[in-house]
Amino acid sequence: MPELPEVETVRLTLAPAVGMQAIDVWTSGMPLRLNQPVDATGLRDAAYRRRIEGVRRRGKYLIIDFVGSPRSVLVHLGMSGRLRLVKSSAEMPRHTHVVFHLIGKGKKRQLRYTDPRRFGQISLLQRDAEKEHPSLAQLGMDPLLEALTGNWLYQRTRYSRQRIKTFLLDQSVIAGIGNIYASEALWQARIAPSLRTHRLSRQRAQLLAEAVPMVFQHALNHGGTSLRDFVDADGVSGSHSGYLRVYGREGEPCLRRSCGHAIRRTVIQGRATFYCPVCQKR
Ligand SMILES: [Zn+2]
């Protein structure tokens, strides 16, 4: 499943679409997440004959704004969704569900949404009331747009007794941390994933607050490669996951200098969790 760095990478790859005009919108007629049909008429109304003003991101949602349109297009990639800007002549892949036909700068392009599993979402967002949209209203802070501070994290962890890894996956607290980067951030901060949240000290809250943007930035620096292939269930695929420090490395040596202990795998709330039993403390 794409996480925040992958979604941010997608956003960056769509930059050339900004300024291009939508001249048609095609939909497959197949429903997406929760069997919800795509509002084809609404998409056309929002986009037709309008130029793309920008592509924004909130947590794992992408927002495509059109010049002069009161409604934007809200996209969530779900498990296997992909949003790509391609030449119009490029062969149409299977499982394509929405296509924006674009012209501009003397070029013809298509912005295509493909999604084999159809767990993604493409819907409309009223721009002047986007904070109230049910998908966005519940989102917590975005660690790439706002500063995650140790003090804030310390305060937010006082009243929860869940495991710290479960806490990190709560999208209403911090938006965009998924299963992979929760393990990565905890390894970086030397915190055991099983630590009960309310026992996080001020000092370790500070370390974790620094670790989250650090692992995201590290992933973004490798985004081009991880993006190419995030099709399998967990978003990691062999050769492109080489930049991960702990996730998927069960039995391999811990990469922290002077440690080298074998990484362990456990399951927390049904999700695979990787950690070093020596340098990550409860
Ligand atoms: Zn270690």
CB 250 within 8 A of CB 177: no
Q: How far is CA 30 from CA 72, 112, 140, in A?
A: 21, 15, 31
Q: What pTM was computed for the model?
A: 0.85
- In the block, residue with structure tokens 């049909």: 37
User: According to the model, what pLDDT value does residue 228 have?
Assistant: 46
Catalytic option among 117, 196, 265, 271: 271
Residue range 216-237, pLDDT digits in tens: 998 888 764 444 444 333 344 4
Question: Ligand 1 centre from 188 Cα, in Å?
Answer: 10
* 2 labelled catalytic: yes
Bridge-based pairing of strands 264-268 and 121-126 is: unpaired
Out of 86-90, 137-141, 178-182, 187-191, give the one with best mean pLDDT.
187-191
How far is residue 198's CA from residue 193's CA, in Å, rounded to a whole number? 13
In the reported structure, the alpha carbon of residue 182 is separated from the centroid of ligand 1 by a whole-number distance in angstroms of 16
| Residue of 57, 58, 60, 156 with catalytic role | 60
109 alpha carbon – ligand 1 mean position (Å): 48
- As a whole number, mean pLDDT of residues 169-174 equals 94
How many Å from the N-terminal Cα to the C-terminal Cα in the chain?
A: 28
Residue ranges matching CATH 1.10.8.50 in the chain: 150-275
Report, as an integer, the average pLDDT of 225-254: 65
Domain at 150-275: CATH architecture: Orthogonal Bundle (1.10)
Instruction: Specify the domain boundaries for CATH 3.20.190.10 within the chain.
Output: 4-137
Question: Could you give the CA distance from residue 212 to residue 226 in angstroms, rounded to a whole number?
Answer: 18
Mean pLDDT on 99-125? 94
pLDDT at 6: 87
Measured in Å, residue 147 CA sits from the centre of ligand 1 at 28
Answer yes or no: 60 catalytic.
yes
> Which residue pairs, CB below 8 angstroms and at least 24 apart, start in 201-206?
202/150, 202/151, 202/154, 205/150, 205/151, 205/153, 205/154, 205/157, 206/150, 206/153, 206/154
256 vs 245: CA distance, rounded Å: 9
Reply yes or no on domain 4-137 having CATH 3.20.190.10.
yes
